[in-house]
Amino acid sequence: MEQLRFSAFWWGTIMFGSILLEQKMASSMTMLKLKRLCKFCDVESTSCTGTGSCMTDCSITSICPHPEDVCVSIWRKKDDNVTIDTICHNPAHKLHGLVLEDYNNSKCEMRERNGMGSQFFICSCSEDECNDHLFFTPYSLDSQVVSVILVSLVPLLVLAVMVITSFYWYRIYHQRRAGVKRKKTPLDFSDAHAIMMDDDGSDSSSTHANNLNHNTELLPIELDAQVGKGRFAEVYKAKLKQGATGAGEHFETVAVKIFADEEYASWKNEKDIFSDADLRHENVLHFLTAEDHKVEKQYWLITAYHPRGNLQEYLTRHVISWDDLWVLGGSLARGVAHLHSDHTLCGRYKVPIVHRDIKSSNILVKGDLTCVLCDFGLGLRLDNSLSVDELANSGQVGTARYMAPEVLESRINLENIESFKQTDVYSMALVLWEITSRCNAIGEVKDYEPPFGKVREHPCVESMKDSVLRDRGRPEIPNSWINHPGIQVVCGTIDECWDHDPEARLTAQCVAERFNDMEHPDKLSVRSNSEEKIPQDVSKLLMPPAGEADNYKQPSS
């Protein structure tokens, strides 16, 4: 029973998924459709007898007014008056009260329709001028076939609906019973032990599907200390109680992001972005559930907790090694590349997402020093449902310090979704610079400073315009940094990612591949320890991967 229930669920999911995919493909096809040529004489007398095949003798070929239009011919006989209509028609609308069913045909196959007040044949088809040559099919045979099919299908359909409904109710019943048994854990986080990322960096929860708490019952959560504060919400470390045992109450550590009533829009946006299960990735914050705390007038997002905190805090407190830089930078690029990608790691279609507020304080550091992207309050799903309003309001968002030049001057190309990704890549370049500035492989390491100034000062858009647009300024990459071969590649990459021209920037995927192509950093750090040990062909390490040579530039100094 359990197995059947499970397979029915997946069968439903696959069907639903494929329907969505088909709809998607269909909608993109519509955008490419050319207008059709059809015979278009309206009503004319004809010598067609309504049997066999004949030509309309219509001499007018017209370009249909709408791209959806198909060609239609209607043959009518009233008393001795026999006529043919040749027209264009949008099959989404009824014609003489009839739905066009055969418009995908390449031939116009005339079928008789009863109850039209005269002898009436109609056909529709989707090839240029296909309504000129008409093929008559007798009504009775066709309707018989349809009735036979219907009669044999109906019981099957009824049976399928009954089976699916009973599985559905069984599932609900089963879940309710399980809920009663576990009273204190209304959501089944069966792998909840991995919700808190330990210092060993293991993240076994990455296989856990993103959830939405559809239960009205809230999770048993006890808030602990505040660990972060953003523009729209505060973040707390919290205990997720896992039920009382003999050994006392067991709990898991989670992070709870709390939005005040007025910040509903931000909560909703982040919740909607997180609810896309395809967002799951080891370099994206692991989302558990969203809750509406009606009584307190608060909205919560419950996620994994990372005790190392955000990247800005981490870089402030630590000088890092080249190995650390490689891990932090590579994982950051992989996270952004996944976000931007239109397919999952297993190749399934996914909606590309842009973050629009990438900065070191919106990136968390896991125990193994890999990064996870968080704070999707300004994120945008680049799907077909993107409304004109959403696009129009998407001009200047984010944090001024990290805004790309085209965002600062509100000149982002809204017609090309790649433009949004390019602004994320610019911000990512600034974060890569921050990481590099704290790496001991650059030589003397100064105290942490964010790009373009001090942490406490928050530059406004106007002052960032002066630095980034008027002066074309970027954070400094001193010559001394690029003595290390790996750092040289990273700095070259940063330089290409913060290019003034958005189109000239690398993609996040390309940056991830650059890090990957450096292979294990040990090789590079060993070489960099001693100049003499650098082999002759070290230049290979400094060159971009094959196929990228065209857009590779020497790092600016």
By beta-carbon proximity to ligand ADE, the closer residue of 227 and 290 is 227
**Residue partners of 505: CB distance under 8 A and separation at least 6:** 422, 425, 426, 429, 496, 497, 498, 499
By beta-carbon proximity to ligand ADE, the closer residue of 314 and 515 is 314
232 is in an annotated binding site: yes
Q: Give the range of 49-57, 297-305, 428-436, 446-454 binding ligand ADE by CB under 6 A.
A: 297-305
Helix axes 485-497, 418-437, angle to 10 degrees: 150
Q: Kindly state the smallest distance separating residue 209's Cβ from ligand ADE, in Å.
A: 18
Tokens of 287: 């989302």
Q: Kindly state the smallest distance separating residue 367's Cβ from ligand ADE, in Å.
A: 12
What residues between 3 and 42 interact with ligand ADE by CB under 6 A? none
Judging by DSSP bridges, how do beta strands 298-304 and 37-39 pair with one another? unpaired
By beta-carbon proximity to ligand ADE, the closer residue of 111 and 366 is 366
Please state the separation of Cα 509 from the chain's center in Å.
15
Query: Helix or strand or coil: residue 205?
Result: helix
337 is in an annotated binding site: no
Residue 547, by phi and psi: left (phi above 0), alpha (psi -120 to 50) or beta?
Answer: left
The span from the CA of 110 to the CA of 135, in Å, is 6
Helical H runs in 398-546? 405-408, 418-437, 461-464, 485-497, 508-517, 521-529, 539-542
Handedness of CA 464, 466, 472, 478 (dihedral sign): negative
228 is in an annotated binding site: yes
Is 550 in the active site? no
What residues between 181 and 240 interact with ligand ADE by CB under 6 A? 227-228, 235
Q: Kindly state the smallest distance separating residue 254's Cβ from ligand ADE, in Å.
A: 8
The span from the CA of 113 to the CA of 133, in Å, is 19
227 is in an annotated binding site: yes
Tokens of 45: 């007398």
The span from the CA of 514 to the CA of 485, in Å, is 13
Establish if 521 lies at the interface with ligand ADE (CB under 6 A).
no
Q: Kindly state the smallest distance separating residue 285's Cβ from ligand ADE, in Å.
A: 6
237 is in an annotated binding site: no
Tokens of 188: 């089944």
235 is in an annotated binding site: yes
Q: Kindly state the smallest distance separating residue 427's Cβ from ligand ADE, in Å.
A: 18
- Catalytic residue, from 132, 203, 278, 357: name it: 357
Q: Give the range of 206-214, 303-311, 454-462, 516-524 binding ligand ADE by CB under 6 A.
A: 303-311
By beta-carbon proximity to ligand ADE, the closer residue of 302 and 320 is 302
Q: Kindly state the smallest distance separating residue 235's Cβ from ligand ADE, in Å.
A: 4
DSSP state of 204: G
230 is in an annotated binding site: yes
**Residue partners of 378: CB distance under 8 A and separation at least 6:** 269, 355, 356, 357, 397, 398
Q: Kindly state the smallest distance separating residue 308's Cβ from ligand ADE, in Å.
A: 8
Q: Which of 62, 86, 303, 331 binds ligand ADE (CB under 6 A)?
A: 303
Q: Give the range of 161-169, 299-307, 467-475, 549-557 binding ligand ADE by CB under 6 A.
A: 299-307
Phi and psi at residue 243, to the nearest 5°: 95, 150
Establish if 258 lies at the interface with ligand ADE (CB under 6 A).
no
By beta-carbon proximity to ligand ADE, the closer residue of 236 and 452 is 236
Q: Kindly state the smallest distance separating residue 229's Cβ from ligand ADE, in Å.
A: 9
Name the residue number minimizing CB distance to ligand ADE. 255
Query: Helix or strand or coil: residue 509?
Result: helix
Handedness of CA 422, 427, 431, 437 (dihedral sign): positive
Which has the closest alpha carbon to 397: 387, 383, 384, 412? 412
Q: Give the range of 160-168, 302-310, 346-354, 515-523 binding ligand ADE by CB under 6 A.
A: 302-310
Question: Do residues 518 and 486 lie in contact, with contact meaning Cβ atoms separated by under 8 Å?
Answer: yes
233 is in an annotated binding site: yes
Tokens of 496: 């290409």
The span from the CA of 375 to the CA of 366, in Å, is 16
Q: Which of 54, 255, 301, 339 binds ligand ADE (CB under 6 A)?
A: 255
Q: Give the range of 54-62, 115-123, 305-313, 547-555 binding ligand ADE by CB under 6 A.
A: 305-313
Q: How many residues bind ligand ADE (CB under 6 A)?
A: 13
By beta-carbon proximity to ligand ADE, the closer residue of 326 and 402 is 402
Which has the closest alpha carbon to 477: 430, 528, 526? 430
Which has the closest alpha carbon to 227: 219, 237, 218, 217? 237
244 is in an annotated binding site: no
Q: Kindly state the smallest distance separating residue 282's Cβ from ligand ADE, in Å.
A: 14
Q: Which of 70, 374, 378, 508 binds ligand ADE (CB under 6 A)?
A: 374
257 is in an annotated binding site: yes
Active site residues: 357
In the complex, the residues that contact ligand ADE under the rule CB under 6 A are 227-228, 235, 255, 285, 303-306, 309-310, 364, 374
Residues of each annotated binding site for ATP:
227-235, 257
